[in-house]
Amino acid sequence: MKSDRLLSILLLLQTRGRVTASELAARLEVSVRTIYRDIEALSISGVPVYAERGRHGGIELLAGFRTDVTGLTADESRALFILAAQGAHAALGLDSALGSALRKVMAALPAPHRPAAEATARRILVDATRWKGGPQRSVDLATLQDAVFADRRLRLRYRHSGERKTRAYTVDPYGLVAKAGVWYLVAARRGLPRLFRADRVHSAALLDDPVKRRPGVELADVWEVLRRQVEERPGGIDVTVRVRRDRLDLFLRLMAPYLAELPDDDGDSAWVTARLSLGVVGEARQLLQFSDRVEVLSPPEVRAEVARAAASVTDLYQRVGGRPEEKSRSDGVL
Residue 222 binned pLDDT confidence (cut-offs 50, 70, 90):
very high
Query: Is 256 in a helix, a strand, or coil?
Result: helix
Q: Tell me the C-alpha distance between 49 and 177, whole Å.
A: 36
pLDDT of the residue at 175: 92
Q: Tell me the C-alpha distance between 34 and 39, whole Å.
A: 9
pLDDT of the residue at 334: 32
- pTM above threshold 0.75: no
Q: Tell me the C-alpha distance between 124 and 259, whole Å.
A: 31
Of these ranges, 71-85, 147-161, 265-279, the one predicted with the greatest mean pLDDT is 147-161
Mean of the pLDDT values across residues 227-240?
78
Kindly report the CA angle at 85 between 129 and 78, in degrees rounded to 5? 130
Mean of the pLDDT values across residues 249-258?
86
Q: Tell me the C-alpha distance between 235 and 299, whole Å.
A: 14
pLDDT at 326 over 50: no
Q: Tell me the C-alpha distance between 29 and 104, whole Å.
A: 30
pLDDT of the residue at 223: 93
pLDDT of the residue at 85: 53
Are the CB atoms for 187 and 174 separated by under 8 Å? Answer: yes
Q: Say what percent of the chain tops pLDDT 70.
A: 84
Are the CB atoms for 60 and 16 separated by under 8 Å? Answer: no
Cα diameter, the chain? 105
pLDDT of the residue at 330: 42
Q: Tell me the C-alpha distance between 323 and 315, whole Å.
A: 13
Are the CB atoms for 60 and 48 separated by under 8 Å? Answer: no
Whole-angstrom CA distances from 285 to 91, 281, 288, 289, 294 are: 35, 8, 6, 8, 12
In sequence order, the 6+-apart residues with CB closer than 8 A to the CB of 221 are none
pLDDT digits (tens, 9 = 90+) for 191-208: 899 999 998 999 999 999
pLDDT at 328 over 50: no
Q: Which amino acid is at 130?
A: R
Nearest to 272 by CA among 255, 219, 122, 257: 255
pLDDT at 36 over 70: yes
pLDDT at 234 over 70: no
pLDDT at 79 over 90: no
Q: Which residues of 61-80 are buried (b: 16+ CB within 10 A; e: fewer)?
A: beeeeeeeeeebeeeebbeb
More confident residue, 83 or 306: 306
pLDDT of the residue at 137: 65
Give strand pairing partners of 153. none
First to last CA, the chain: 88
The DSSP output letter for 288 is: G
More confident residue, 64 or 50: 50
Whole-angstrom CA distances from 279 to 105, 282, 303, 304 are: 49, 9, 15, 17
